[in-house]
Amino acid sequence: MKKYFWPVIAGMMTYVLGLALMNHDLHPATAAQILTVISLPLWPAILVSFALNLKLAKPHMKRYFWRFTFGMSAYVVGLGVANHIYTPQSPYKNWLILLPILPLIYVSFAIVRCVADSDEMWRKIYTEAMAFSGLATGFTCFSYLFLRDMGAPEFHPEWAFYLMWAYYGIGFIVSWRRYK
């Protein structure tokens, strides 16, 4: 318990500071804005907490953590640069799409290598969770076509990404408990 105390405190402080900053800057009024203000500071908090726990991680996990962090940082920079220099009449506007996409391809390869370098049990857990996530997301998105025809709200593409991670979390917990 003692070894996790400071990473937890640092993660909680990061979350509270991020929450206060976003609440001050955005002044959330709608449910979507409130959800954004509550959920967005979680990612830096998780990053800070995990970075402080790196000394406890296995060497290959440390390596992939830094690769993932580098790739996601390059993604954020690429997204910022693409949004900053984009103009509708720009001749290279179609090439700006590659600025955030290339780091995501790098991150995808880093995740696949991390899973491949894991021991057999963890590889099986990750793979089962990913398979469940892919199938459940596909079936949910396909089923939503019928709900849309019955009057459900329009399906936004980013919902599939959020669904995929929610299903991955469910699949990971179920698979982890089975092999525990």
Q: Which residue has the higher pLDDT, 137 or 48?
A: 137
- Confidence check: pLDDT of 155 > 90: no
- Dihedral through CA 117, CA 121, CA 124, CA 125, nearest 10? -110
Q: Is 147 helix (H, G, I), strand (E, B) or coil?
A: helix
Record the tokens describing residue 158, joined without a space.
Answer: 């980013």
Mean pLDDT over all residues of the chain?
83
Q: What is the pLDDT of residue 22?
A: 72
Q: Are 44 and 55 in contact (CB under 8 A)?
A: no
CA distance 54 to 62: 6
Looking up tokens 């409130």 gives: 34
Q: How many helices (H) and strands (E) does the chain have?
A: 7, 0
Amino acid (1-letter code) at residue 33 = Q
φ, ψ of residue 101 in degrees (nearest 5): -75, -40
Q: Identify the residue whose tokens are 């399906």.
A: 155
Helices (H), 53-156: 59-85, 98-117, 120-149
From the centroid of its chain, how far is CA 176? 20
| pLDDT above 70: residue 102 | yes
Lowest mean pLDDT among 27-31, 121-125, 137-141: 27-31
Q: Are 38 and 19 in contact (CB under 8 A)?
A: yes
Domain ranges of the chain: 1-56, 58-117, 119-180
